[in-house]
Amino acid sequence: MVQINIENVTKKFEKKNKVTMALQHINLDIDSGEFFGILGSSGSGKTTLMRIIAGLEIPTEGTVSFDQKPVSKDNKIITEVEDRNIGMVFQNWALYPHLTNFENIAFPLRIMRLKESAVNRRVKEIAELLDISEVLNKHPKEASGGQQQRVAYARALVKNPALLLLDEPFSNLDATIKDVARKYTKELQNILGFTAIIVSHDPADIFSLSRQVGVINKSLIMQTGKPIDVFTDPVSIEVARSTGEYNTILVNVKENGLRYNLSVGNMLNMDIDISKVKKSDTIEYPAGEVLLGFRPSDVIVIPSDMAGSSDLPRGFKECGEAEVAISSYYQGSFRVTLSFKDSSESFFCFHNTPLQPGEKVNIYLNPDLIHLFNAK
Ligand code: ADP
Ligand code: MG
């Protein structure tokens, strides 16, 4: 296990006359034994950050330290990749097709010039742990996707690394195998005790594994914290959207003493307590128009002709009416898109019974579960 500190790391790629800022002023502190997840869309800088931590890429500025000792600093590598005691698993697994799975896993030990008996013992041990003993004599292509992935894990872990770097490791797996892979990733950490960093664009990968997460967007870390805090209190719309499905509606805001009134025409009308509302970093005194944000799971809709007949969860208040635009079956319930009369604003949510297009519904929101952002 190893502690990782990333201090003010910037990475600039310069090619001919094109400059790309892949990372800007990244600061991250990752405890020894932590499972740290970095979530961000394609092109946000995730792979570059992993390669910098691995020592495959040099930071243009800033310092990367392992257990408080700098391993890269200000455009210089201090500790080379092979001396960093890390294992890596990438999206395409990068197995050597001409080698057997045994030799793929043994590869890092061959570089160390370990004795044949030691190589044998170690490869068999890790293969047993990953349940791939029966494919050791086959080539990667002859094994299933799930097995190939475990061969990649075995190769990454065969030297008992202090740090495991996982770059979109599940992207090539079917949905059912993905869940299994996430589960054994966690188990491997418990058994072998390494620090782990995973990067992915998929919130399910990050949230199922990580104890701490960072959200990266366009080369900047926008927020770090516990998964639940980042999910429920995103500091920006970008964080809200990259952590899961999210609605934003442009609303008019009026300050009225100690309350804000939010409205969309006369279809949505919500009074909220100024002291309680969660505002993003960049919004201090909302005025005029703001974006009202909420998760689809944090809004309730009830057909208007049935409204008032059912109990609502605590904190939810009626705040207007909308019309069903689209309703489609989705994983055991219905995914419903709703629109407001005389407005182009819309949102979506889930409902346990089918709703008909054109049907009127009452909307219920909980002021504790909404956020306000600047209207751009
Ligand atoms: P992600 O893994 O989040 O998709 P990357 O770290 O691969 O993002 O890329 C971040 C940005 O840096 C992108 O704009 C990408 O085109 C650029 N980039 C990455 N590697 C290089 C490179 N070797 N040369 C030039 N630009 C690069
Ligand atoms: Mg990448």
| CA torsion angle 275 278 284 287 (round to 10) | -90
Nearest CA to ligand 1 atom 16: 43
329-368 confidence digits (pLDDT tens)? 988 899 999 999 888 999 999 999 999 999 999 999 998 8
Give yes or no for residue 217 CB within 6 A of ligand 1: no
Instruction: Give dist(CA 339, CA 346) in Å, integer.
Output: 4
In terms of CATH, what superfamily is 246-374? Answer: Nucleic acid-binding proteins (2.40.50.140)
What pLDDT is recorded for position 51?
97
The helix (run of H) or strand (run of E) holding residue 190 is helix 175-192
- Among protein residues, the one whose CA lies closest to atom 12 of ligand 1: 22
Interval between CA 42 and ligand 2 midpoint (Å): 6
Class of domain 4-241: alpha beta
Nearest CA to ligand 1 atom 17: 22
Mean pLDDT of the 147-157 span: 95
- Ligand 1 pocket mutation, candidates 20, 200, 221, criterion most atoms within 8 A of CB: 20
Q: Where do you find CATH 3.40.50.300 in the chain?
A: 4-241
14: Cβ below 6 Å to ligand 1?
no
Angstrom CA distances, 72 to 23, 28, 50, stand at 15, 15, 13
Domain ranges in the chain with CATH number 2.40.50.140:
246-374
Q: Indicate if the pLDDT at residue 324 is higher than 90.
A: yes
Rounded CA-CA distance 277/109 in Å is 56
Ligand 1: residue whose CA is nearest its atom 7: 47
Residue 278 CA to ligand 2 centre (angstroms): 32
What does the mean pLDDT of the chain come to? 93
pLDDT at 239 over 70: yes
- Whether the per-residue pLDDT at 174 is higher than 80: the answer is yes
ipTM of predicted complex: 0.99
Is the pLDDT reported for residue 287 higher than 80? no
Residue 268 has pLDDT above 90, yes or no: no
39-86 pLDDT, tens digit per residue, is: 999 999 999 999 999 999 999 999 999 999 999 999 999 999 999 999
CA of 167 to the centre of ligand 2 (A): 7
Question: Ligand 1 mean position to 48 CA, how many Å?
Answer: 6
